[in-house]
A and B are shown apart, each in its own frame.
Chain A
Amino acid sequence: MKIKNVVMTLAAAGLVFSAQTSIAGTTLDAVKKKGVLSCGVSTGLAGFSQKDEKGQWSGLDVDVCRGVAAAVLGDASKVQYKPLTAKERFTALQSGEIDILSRNTTWTHTRDTSLGLNFAGVIYYDGAGFMVSKKLGVKSATELNGANACIQAGTSTELAISDYFRENNMKYKAITFDTSDQTRAGFESGRCDFLVSDQSQLYALRIGLKDPDGAIVLPEVISKEPLGPVVRQNDDEWFNVVKWVVNASIEGEYQGVTSSNAEEMKTKGNPGQKRLLGTEGDLGEKLGLPADWAFQVIKQVGNYAESFERNVGQGSPLKIARGLNAQWNKGGILYSPAMR
């Protein structure tokens, strides 16, 4: 009888883990069935995916997860966040542990073609740049010959800086760190003369310094780093959902639909706004989503501008300017395909 109890307990414990094992069928169906979206995010990247003291996740990458959850499940909070290191992010997606990878991942040709993955758009146009101490008196990256560089390990920046220095016939020494906080500490202590990172991170790292005004960001941007969410290949339905959720939030800004006026626009807006919000047309149906999918995204998460300002822009400690990430008609290159 005791043995029977043991076996029962073991079996029950096994079920706990196996409950979420099956990913048969399309991801969209699986997510609807589970009632929750599992989303791979970074372990902690200021402004993109970070956890607060209460365990709540926020950030630009996190907003993609929340947007997809809002569109598919009608509730932006139904997300299971799986923090991943750079090394395990693709494996986690390939093996089906996560439904979508939104972890400041650069869209490169190799990754898109050889990993069995698809990039579903760009949510932030980034590029690697340099931060140096003001005391050094350096005005341009070309004066950095022979200097030590602080780099975060496992990023595409590692390759970009090597290319840049080779191209300009300069030498450097790479000091790599595991986390961005260590990179900042290394720069602050003088272990390296300059810090190379995605521009978005440079600003975050700079305000973390004891004396933020003592460091300057050099004008050079040495690489293209378009960051976006990633899904598995051969699942076009899910690929479309993620792609158009990203586009809906960009289009929301373009059309002037915000989380506060979305309700009103639903009935009073122009045809374009109504089509986006689902009161006209059948955009949702074609994606296999409810008609008000984009409405839910904008209502619960906000349009791109709101999300940007809240997480990395003026409403955040990072205060990053829109720059390239402004709408195409406002000096940036954000452009959503037509919503019709």
Chain B
Amino acid sequence: MFSKKTAEQIQLETRPSGNGATAFYNNPKYRGWIYQSILFVFIIGFFYSIISNTLDNMSAQGIKSGFSFLKTSAGFDVLMSLIPFETTDSYLRIFMIGILNTILVSIIGIIFSTILGFIFGIAYFSRNWLIKQIAIVYVEIFRNIPVILQVIFWYTVFNALPIARESLNLGDAIFLNVTGLYFPLLVGESGSGVVYGAIIAAIIAVFIVKRWAKKRQELTGEQFPVLWSSLGILVGLPLLALLVTGIPFHFDYPALRGFNFQGGVSVIPEFLSLAIALSVYTGAFIAEAVRAGIQSVPKGQTEAARSIGLKESKIMSLIIVPQSMRVITPMLNSEYQSLVKNTTIATAIGYPELFTIFAGSALNQVGQAIEIMFMTLAIYFAINMVISLVMNHFNKRTELSTR
């Protein structure tokens, strides 16, 4: 009459040990605790020995510790800084300059690598054979060469430009020479505040129009030409403000004075080469991701879109790319993070980002490796954390809601 047996009885009978209990070391729960305690002891011992060795070594070698060096004067010049800097300023200021320069080149790199990546990723599907080949060649060349070589290459290219007195000249306004790229700076006079206000108002208006148009489409199905009307607002409103206030702007043109160009905005070749190298290198990886993303969209989607009569260009932008973003976004996240980490190759060409001037020049003058490396790494972690947060937020929006 085995049908009468309860599940509990069966369990009891199938247990191997006589008294119905396993030995405690065979219990996964206890075993887990044993493993973890061993790991814990090991890690504590590991860190204890590292820290005590380090302290011993530091005292034996007379290496200073602490963060007081941040207040002392650096005494060396920095090539490019977004905040005012004198050679008498402190190491803390060097640290800040490094962070800002890292962030600047990262942002520029992220923007341009994304643009390049999407252009070449989509170009892979071009009907023009040559364009497709170029997309393939671009990806295969640039992702397979160490990025440090690429940055050196671009720097060599910039070094081949003419010297300051023989600059490439575009309308006496934009100059390109071996010391960098110079273009005029727009300087606001009194009354320019009205124009700035108009620009902000235009941006707000565009958002309102966009929301209203979306609502209207949901309700009535009618589309509203958002792009053209937004452009109209964005151009028209500031233009109106300009005319009303009588154009309160003038250009500050760069001009050759003494050894170099003065005035205007200048971009140094170190920055340009690093930004180009990072954009091109990361762009190749993003192009690969975009290609994979587009290929992941089922073919039926394209066919369905054609069957409802969408134009080929609209199919890409309205149907394929939005769906492929689900695959692309997580990859973009890791590519952006590796771009930020790769900014450290600036050390090969001397662009003064965090790793080069703080973990490089400053460390060399101060010699406090532990503190400086700790601060440097913390910044890279922080930047990557921000990227991760933003991209995860973006990812949530593109994820399939059924998941």
A and B touch in the complex (CB under 8 A): yes
One of A86, A91, A148, A159 near B259 (C-beta < 8 A): A148
| Contact of B79 with A87 in the complex, beta carbons under 8 Å | no
Taken together as a complex, chains A and B put the C-alpha atoms of A198 and B178 apart, in Å, by 25
Stretch of B125-133, B356-364, B391-399 on the interface side: B356-364
Interface flag for A158 (CB, 8 Å): yes
Assess whether B221 is interfacial by the CB under 8 Å rule. no
Measured in the bound complex, the distance between the Cα atoms of B352 and A114 in whole Å is 27
Q: Which of A115, A159, A173, A175 makes the CB contact (< 8 A) with B61?
A: A115
Q: Which residues of B contact A147 (CB under 8 A)?
A: 258-260
Interface positions, chain B 125-180, Cβ under 8 Å from A, are 156, 159-164, 177-179
**Is B369 part of the contact surface with A, judged by Cβ < 8 Å?**
yes
Q: B101 to nearest A CB, angstroms?
A: 13
Closest Cβ of chain A: how far from B165's Cβ, in Å?
9
In Å, the complex CA distance between A191 and B161 comes to 9
Q: Are B258 and A159 in contact (CB under 8 A)?
A: no
A90 surroundings in chain B (CB, below 8 A): 367
Q: Which of B70-78, B112-120, B280-288 contacts A (4 or more CB under 8 A)?
A: B70-78
Q: Mark B338-359, 1 if CB is under 8 A from A, else 0.
A: 0000000001111010001000
Residue B60 is within 8 A (CB to CB) of chain A in the complex: yes
Number of interchain pairs (Cβ within 8 Å) = 96
Q: Separation in Å of the A55 CB from the closest CB of chain B? A: 23
**Contact of A154 with B by CB under 8 A:** yes
* Residues of the A chain whose Cβ atoms lie less than 8 Å from the Cβ of B360: 87, 153-154
Q: Does B87 reach chain A (CB closer than 8 Å)?
A: yes
Interfacial chain B residues near A159, Cβ < 8 Å = 75-76, 365
Is A30 an interface residue, CB under 8 A from the partner? Answer: no
Q: Does A146 contact B (CB under 8 A)?
A: yes
Contact A191 B367 (CB under 8 A): no
When distances are taken between beta carbons in the complex, the residues of chain B under 8 Å from A146 are 258-260
Determine the chain A residues whose CB is within 8 A of the CB of B77 once the complex forms: 158, 161-162, 172-174
A21 and B160 alpha carbons, distance in the complex (Å): 48
- Tell me the smallest distance from the CB of A124 to a CB of chain B, in Å: 21
- Within the complex, what minimum Cβ distance (angstroms) separates A251 from chain B? 33
Complex contact A153–B178 (CB within 8 A): no
Q: Is the CB of A158 within 8 A of B361?
A: yes
A22 beta carbon closer than 8 Å to chain B: no
Which A residues lie within 8 Å of B156 (CB)?
185
Size category, A interface = 35 or more
Chain A residues numbered 71-106 whose CB sits less than 8 Å from any CB in chain B: 86-87, 90-91, 94-95
Check A256 for interface membership: any CB of B closer than 8 A. no
Q: Nearest Cβ in chain B — how far from A247, in angstroms?
A: 27
Instruction: Tell whether A186 pairs with B87 under 8 Å between CB atoms, given A159-B365, A175-B79.
Output: no
Which of B75, B79, B177, B350 contacts A162 (CB under 8 A)? B75
B109 at the binding interface (Cβ < 8 Å): no
- B347–A178 contact, CB under 8 A? yes
The answer to whether B269 has its CB under 8 Å from any CB of chain A is yes
B residues in contact with A163, CB < 8 Å = 75
Chain A residues with CB under 8 A of B211: none
A166 CB–B CB distance under 8 Å: yes
Are A153 and B350 neighbours in the complex by a CB distance under 8 Å? yes
In whole angstroms, how far apart are the Cα atoms of A86 and B361 in the complex?
A: 10
The answer to the question of B64 belonging to the interface, with a C-beta cut-off of 8 Å to chain A, is yes
A116–B76 CB distance below 8 A: no
In whole Å, how far is B214's beta carbon from the nearest beta carbon of chain A? 51
Interface positions of B from 74 to 88, Cβ below 8 Å from A: 75-79, 87-88
Chain A 165-182 interface 0/1 with B at a Cβ cutoff of 8 Å (1 = within): 010000011111110001
How many angstroms between the C-alpha atoms of A91 and B57 in the bound complex? 11
Q: Which of A95, A159, A161, A192 is the most central at the interface, judged by chain B CB atoms within 10 Å of its CB? A: A159
In the bound complex, CA of A161 to CA of B76 (Å): 8
CB distance A190 to B179 under 8 Å?
Answer: yes
Residue of B nearest to A95 (CB): B57
Closest CB in chain B relative to A234 CB, distance in Å: 9
The reply to whether A116 and B60 contact each other, CB–CB distance below 8 Å, is yes
Chain B residues with Cβ under 8 A from A172's Cβ? 77
Chain B nearest CB, measured from A22 CB (Å): 16
Find out whether the CB atom of B87 lies under 8 angstroms from the CB atom of A166: yes
In the bound complex, how far is the Cα of B260 from the Cα of A195, in angstroms?
Answer: 16
The answer to whether A190 and B178 touch across the interface, beta carbons within 8 angstroms, is: yes
Of the residues B178, B258, B348, contact of A178 by C-beta under 8 Å: B348
Q: Are A116 and B259 in contact (CB under 8 A)?
A: no
CA A148 to CA B262, docked complex, whole Å = 13
Select B350's contact among A145, A161, A166, A178, beta carbons within 8 Å: A178
- Min CB distance, A68 to chain B, in Å? 22
* A185 and B364 form a contact (CB under 8 A): no
- What is the CB-to-nearest-CB distance from B112 to chain A, in angstroms, rounded to a whole number? 23
- Chain A residue at smallest Cβ distance from B164: A190
Q: Given A148-B260, A190-B163, A191-B178, does the pair A175, B62 have CB atoms closer than 8 Å?
A: no
Identify the closest chain B residue to A154 (Cβ). B364
Q: How far is the CA of A163 from the CA of B77 in the complex (A)?
A: 10
User: Per-residue CB proximity of B51-67 to A under 8 Å, as 1/0?
Assistant: 00000010011111000
Residues of chain A within 8 A (CB-CB) of B335 are none
Cβ of B364 and Cβ of A87 under 8 Å apart? yes
Question: A189 interface residue, CB < 8 Å from B?
Answer: yes
Encoded as 1 (CB less than 8 Å from any B CB) or 0, chain A from 123 to 165 comes to: 0000000000000000000001111100001100011011100
Is the C-beta of A193 less than 8 angstroms from some C-beta in chain B?
A: yes
Q: Which residues of chain A have C-beta atoms less than 8 A from B63's C-beta?
A: 115-116
- Per the bound structure, the CA–CA distance linking A186 and B260 in Å amounts to 16
Complex-state Cα separation, A86 to B178, whole angstroms: 28
A26 to chain B, nearest CB (A): 16
Cα distance A178–B148 when bound, in Å? 13
A interface residues, Cβ below 8 angstroms from B: 86-87, 90-91, 94-95, 114-116, 144-148, 153-154, 158-159, 161-163, 166, 172-178, 182, 185-186, 189-193
- 16 A-B interface contacts by CB (under 8 A): A94-B61, A115-B62, A115-B367, A144-B259, A154-B361, A158-B76, A162-B76, A162-B77, A163-B75, A173-B79, A174-B76, A175-B270, A177-B350, A185-B159, A189-B159, A191-B159
Of all A-B residue pairs in the complex, the 7 with the closest CB atoms, nearest first, are: A190-B163, A189-B159, A174-B77, A116-B61, A154-B364, A147-B259, A176-B350
Given A174-B79, A175-B270, 14 other A-B residues pairs in contact with their CB atoms under 8 A: A87-B360, A87-B364, A116-B63, A145-B258, A147-B259, A154-B360, A154-B361, A172-B77, A174-B76, A174-B77, A177-B349, A178-B350, A189-B178, A191-B159
